[in-house]
């Protein structure tokens, strides 16, 4: 934690100390820039988004934090399981399967510990970290740079901050995007999530221990993420319209009681702490960069968590965004072509997952997903996307297009058996 003082001056001010902000701060600090991170909370703190993707591993290596992650005791994730709510159908994806995925495992992480590791590492690499220090005001000027006001941990003292560049990693608070009225909600993803940590959940064991379990209901879905043998993250995602006349907790426990695949796993479960709720959480900002400003992670866009892409997208965005800012700082340019390329790539990555997420809510995609056929290695390509391979490989891309064609044919022609539990 930095010492208290008066005015703060730096090359880069980062709003938010989550995975995106920590990644960006580490990259820039290791290149010799004066970086200050302003985090409104005190770590460790509760957070969801606990299931990582295999392609997080190269990022950990780049940041120099892989050994800490591997030695932290997090559960190893070998794949994902999809089940229908009535328990009649299921399918499993193993990241090691197929020719398009280079990394066979990932981790299930308790974010309170994981995020603290990343933020502490950023400080070790030279970033100045301010916790319990929210940003209250901010202005960005192309010529004069960034001016902010932050509230000191005491909660009574405001202090000014000046910086050459701003990186907004404020998460779903979307600090700069909301103030600039850039947020656009996805009309087909107006969802509510209710979630918490539970003890006593029956989860896969043996070779399947560590798998994330996705239970697809007719109008909703539920995640079960094992964080340890004693603790499981469980969340239910459903349409916002389902809240009429009932509470989120009522919907959660009703779904558990009415769906055998959940009822069996949750029969002896007890909530640890409390349940949390978030609404309307899928959005994209119309602009990701502007003069002297780069938005990364959830402050650029946030997607439904069905495919566990959140932390991965946050960290690759944090890395690419920081590299673009470093280039702008060296050339003393407010808006560079590299920043524009970062924006284009960021929105392209979001689009890749949004396409799959929107289809996930149709019974047609689930019927194709749960009836995998060795057809031009299409399941292997889907597996690669689920693992986080977003390098633009044509071999993966055209097979993903073919997968979506199969989904359309399923809708129009019923080329595979229908699953009544999804309709």
Q: What is the mean pLDDT of each run of 10 residues along the chain (423 residues)?
A: 71 98 98 98 94 96 97 96 95 89 94 98 98 96 96 86 98 95 86 94 95 94 96 94 88 95 97 89 92 97 88 96 98 97 95 90 93 88 91 90 96 95 92
Backbone angles phi, psi at 199, to 5 degrees: -105, 155
Residue 423's Cβ-count burial label (10 Å; 0-12, 13-18, 19+) is exposed
Q: What are phi and psi of 181, to 5 degrees?
A: 55, 45
What pLDDT, on the 0 to 100 scale, is given for residue 1?
44
CA separation, residue 112 to residues 115, 235, 312 (Å): 6, 17, 17
For residue 115, what pLDDT is reported?
98
Beta bridge partners of 151: 158
Predicted local confidence at residue 188, as pLDDT: 77
Written as six digits, the tokens of 103 are: 């990394």
Which pLDDT score, from 0 to 100, does residue 68 have? 97
Question: What is residue 391's predicted lDDT score, i.e. its pLDDT?
Answer: 85
> What pLDDT, on the 0 to 100 scale, is given for residue 306?
85
- Domain at 76-109+189-279, CATH from 2.60.40.2890, 3.10.105.10, 3.40.50.720, 3.30.9.100: 3.30.9.100
Q: CA-to-CA distance for 140 and 145, rounded, in angstroms?
A: 6
Predicted pLDDT of residue 153: 85
CATH 3.50.50.60 fits 8-67+111-184+285-351, yes or no: yes
CA distance 72 to 402: 40
Q: Where do the domains of the chain lie? A: 8-67+111-184+285-351, 76-109+189-279, 361-422
């Amino acid at each position: 934690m930095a010492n208290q003082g008066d005015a703060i001056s730096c090359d880069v001010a980062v709003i938010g100390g989550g995975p995106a902000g920590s990644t960006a701060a580490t990259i820039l600090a290791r290149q010799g820039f004066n970086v200050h991170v302003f985090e409104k909370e005190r770590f460790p703190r509760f957070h969801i988004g606990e299931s990582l993707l295999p392609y997080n591993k190269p990022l950990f290596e780049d940041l120099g934090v892989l050994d800490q992650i591997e030695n932290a005791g997090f559960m190893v994730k070998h794949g994902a399981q999809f089940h229908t709510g009535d328990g009649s159908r299921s399918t499993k994806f193993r990241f090691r399967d197929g020719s398009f995925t280079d990394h066979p495992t990932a981790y299930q992480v308790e974010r309170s510990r994981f995020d603290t590791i990343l933020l502490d590492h950023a400080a070790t690499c030279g970033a100045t970290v301010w916790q319990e220090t929210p940003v209250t005001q901010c202005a960005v000027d192309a010529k004069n740079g960034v001016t902010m006001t932050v509230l000191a941990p005491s909660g009574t003292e405001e202090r000014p901050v000046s910086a050459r560049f701003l990186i907004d990693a404020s998460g779903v608070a979307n600090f700069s995007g909301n103030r600039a009225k850039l947020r656009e909600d996805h009309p087909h993803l107006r969802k509510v999530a209710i979630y918490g940590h539970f003890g006593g959940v029956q989860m896969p064991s043996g070779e399947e221990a560590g798998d994330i379990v996705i239970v697809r209901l007719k109008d909703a879905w539920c995640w079960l993420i094992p964080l340890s043998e004693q603790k499981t993250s469980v969340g239910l995602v459903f349409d916002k319209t389902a809240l009429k006349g009932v509470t989120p907790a009522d919907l959660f426990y009703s779904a558990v009681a009415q769906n055998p695949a959940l009822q069996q796993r949750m029969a002896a479960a007890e909530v640890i702490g409390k349940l949390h709720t978030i609404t309307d959480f899928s959005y994209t900002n119309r602009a990701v960069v502007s003069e002297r400003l780069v938005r990364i992670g959830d402050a650029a866009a946030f997607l439904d968590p069905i495919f566990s892409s959140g932390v991965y997208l946050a960290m690759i965005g944090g890395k690419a965004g920081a590299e673009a800012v470093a280039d702008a700082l060296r050339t003393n340019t407010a808006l560079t072509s590299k920043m524009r390329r970062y924006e284009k790539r960021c929105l392209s990555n979001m689009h890749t997952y949004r396409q799959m997420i929107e289809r996930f809510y149709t019974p047609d995609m689930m019927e194709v997903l749960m009836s995998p056929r060795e057809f031009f290695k299409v399941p292997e390509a889907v597996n690669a996307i689920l693992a986080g391979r977003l390098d633009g490989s044509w071999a993966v891309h055209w097979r993903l297009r073919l997968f979506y064609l199969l989904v359309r044919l399923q809708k129009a022609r019923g080329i595979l058996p229908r699953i009544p539990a999804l309709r």
